[in-house]
Chains A and B, each alone.
Chain A
């Protein structure tokens, strides 16, 4: 009944889930069904701490899955590493999905046992900066916020007393708020590499806000969706042409906005200044190792080339740690922004890594994390 390539609109049959979900609770319902009917052993979802914070959990408890409904725009996590070594189902923004693929290429994740419900992603925001933005730009008490959404280029916040306030995202980002830098130039908005690609773009009419547009990408997607329908968790209907067209249109608009940002962030550094630029940026590094730990595509453990050949006693002009990583990540970096997020001295680690990875990946016509067909190009394949 479900086929690869299907584009449907769907929602959770349970009104409670449907209400709590970001747009119809379909994703939550599919995850719960997968767990309940034994398609997977566990599910990765976010446990909500408050309006701005959630933490990934690996759970086999259906209630925990149901409680996780809703999109957390201020939780810039990456879920890939939690999936390693398990038979799981997980939701995933494009960067989560891409990282899963990079892990799978390096045999850390068994892709056949990993069911991924992709979420379209316009970007995530930093929780602390978001609170600050609410105070400074929206003049709203962060504790009063009960919901947010992005619509027509504006970021809306709804407060307890039912009021809504919107500011164009461009204005927010010019003021240093809004989406994380990496999200602004992120170049995958619909996770076509996931098993199902879900999102609210293209959901129109009376379904707007309480259903999700879902594209079935592959056989695992078919199983996920059929399983959820059979168990009575979700209900679907085919997406109309208009829905499909709108989704496409918004996607390309977002992608071209991303390109603009890319041009803005990656201004050319003249060749003769580069080495000084990089040395200067890394000079504040305190060797915490967080950028490696947080990197969702890195599969090395504590003892790896970048750490073993690096010593605090060295007074090199650049650290071996960074030089080795810049090379090693050039075939796998997906630009997820995790490394910049966690850097305790605010080095723009992500943009630096992109400066190395982007030309290398472009040259090899290779986009990290999209398929398993292309092995890591740093691994020498012998014919």
Chain B
């Protein structure tokens, strides 16, 4: 009758909401509220409320059949040692300590860990921005004017209350290019050339997000805007430990856009990929295309706490315990270091063994924890120089200036993904509709309860729709759908 109760954090997004996972003797899990958690006061969004779905356990496998962990590690080591070069991906879906373990392996192999986000321009400094440390969400409540470049209700629901509080404190809120938002005073459908009309100054705050499919050009434009007007900028991030892995970057990794990695696999430049709780099939806008790309690899080695499409494709799966059981820390989007109550180190032990097999040193949780704290400049670790201008020192590659926002041909529409936790993790949800505006309903002669047919080079599909006030010619969806080929897809649209 013994029930286990874990203090942990929601793995859905960078807010890192505190919660309890209750695990009954049969292993069924349920969520309970942790009201003392400062990031969220115990409150959770739809994803957090349904988080048990997320913890579907991965199984250790070698070439498609069940294996025990040591054999899988040996098989992985073998493949990694034999490869000419190894690409390693960890976007920040697991503990800082596991990420550090992954970095150790990279070191042994003489390679680095990629985070899947494009290299950020060096101008992101603590002066104009919050990236990568994050500002406290309390700060958001104090801004005088806020420009929103995301849809908080769908994408990062836990900032809705912060924005509402800001509004009660007298802030004006303007939403740019999203659907009409109830909390915004105005919604403007304007391009970067007109951002100066937003009326921002040094008491203002820009809220946007950075994720593996962000458009680097747009991020640059926002940074320029912030630089020009002196506004602060806050980038929300999609993964529980995005901030942690970014901070760990300096010592151990680089930022290579996921799309770049996928292109390199496609081109045969990358032949061996090792992932740590990062599933390119879930992360790429076009899941089917991602599957095809991954099939081209010689070696796909997946270290994962949960079953997901990539564990189906992998040559070797090294399964670790669910995230809520792990010992370890996460850094949320505010730069708040949060610690799990769990004591699971199966993931770390597996990676230690793997590192040993590769000829590197073995390690344990305590060492990794220390190294992580040191790399983020924790005063307790006695290393003073890291915090100062972390952002400046970040390794900066060239920004890919291929603007995605090309014009939409006559009679076609732009389908825009509203990335949200359900989408990043391809989790069951009932967001199975597209948002269209009323004019379009009239134009297509749609009837109540009807459907629309979306078409792209990937084929056609039927979807339900919901009517919203959104920028003209735009179709939005919070559901991952097969017709999409990227974060923005040119599509055709008919009624049916």
Contact = CB atoms under 8 A, between A and B. Distances in A.
Do A and B touch each other in the complex, judged by CB within 8 A?
Answer: yes
Contacts of B44: 288, 290, 342, 344
B430 interface: yes
B460 interface: no
B157 A345 contact: yes
A373 interface: no
A313 B465 contact: yes
Contact of A315 (B5, B34, B467): B467
A346 B161 contact: yes
A84 to B, nearest CB: 13
B363 interface: no
A52 interface: yes
Contact of B153 (A50, A286, A293, A315): A286
B53 to A, nearest CB: 12
A312 B160 contact: no
A181 interface: no
Interface in B1-46: 1, 3, 5, 7, 20, 32-38, 40-46
Interface string A8-41: 0000000000000000000000000000000001
A312 B3 CA distance: 34
Given A345-B161, A346-B164, A53 B34 contact: yes
A342 B3 contact: no
B164 A57 contact: no
B447 interface: no
Given A60-B1, A286-B157, A344 B43 contact: yes
Interface in A298-357: 311-315, 341-346
B433 A341 contact: no
B5 A344 contact: no
A55 interface: yes
Nearest to B33: A342
Nearest to A56: B32
B466 interface: yes
A49 B5 CA distance: 11
A127 interface: yes
B466 A342 contact: no
Contacts of A52: 36
B20 A55 contact: yes
B49 A57 contact: no
B35 A58 contact: no
Nearest to A289: B49
B35 A288 contact: no
Interface string B432-445: 11000000000000
Interface residue range, chain A? 35 or more
A341 B45 contact: no
A47 B49 CA distance: 22
A148 interface: no
Given A127-B35, A127-B36, A311-B430, A287 B42 contact: no
Contacts of B431: 312
Nearest to B37: A128
Contacts of A50: 36
B464 interface: yes
A294 interface: yes
A380 B49 CA distance: 33
Contacts of B7: 49, 55
A345 B160 contact: yes
A343 B1 contact: no
A199 interface: no
A284 B160 contact: yes
Given A289-B49, A293-B49, A128 B164 contact: no
A280 to B, nearest CB: 9
A283 interface: yes
B182 interface: yes
Contact of B157 (A58, A294, A344): A344
A290 B35 contact: no
A182 interface: no
A41 B41 CA distance: 33
B3 A57 contact: yes
A221 interface: no
Contacts of A293: 49
12 contacts: A55-B34, A75-B35, A126-B41, A284-B183, A287-B46, A288-B44, A288-B48, A290-B43, A313-B430, A313-B465, A344-B40, A344-B161
Closest 8 CB pairs of A and B: A127-B36, A53-B36, A344-B43, A313-B433, A283-B182, A346-B161, A286-B157, A345-B160
Given A53-B35, A128-B36, A284-B164, 17 more contacts: A53-B36, A74-B36, A75-B35, A77-B35, A126-B41, A283-B182, A286-B153, A288-B44, A289-B46, A290-B33, A290-B44, A294-B33, A312-B430, A313-B433, A314-B466, A345-B157, A345-B161
Interface of B: 1, 3, 5, 7, 20, 32-38, 40-46, 48-49, 153, 157-158, 160-161, 164-165, 182-183, 430-433, 464-468
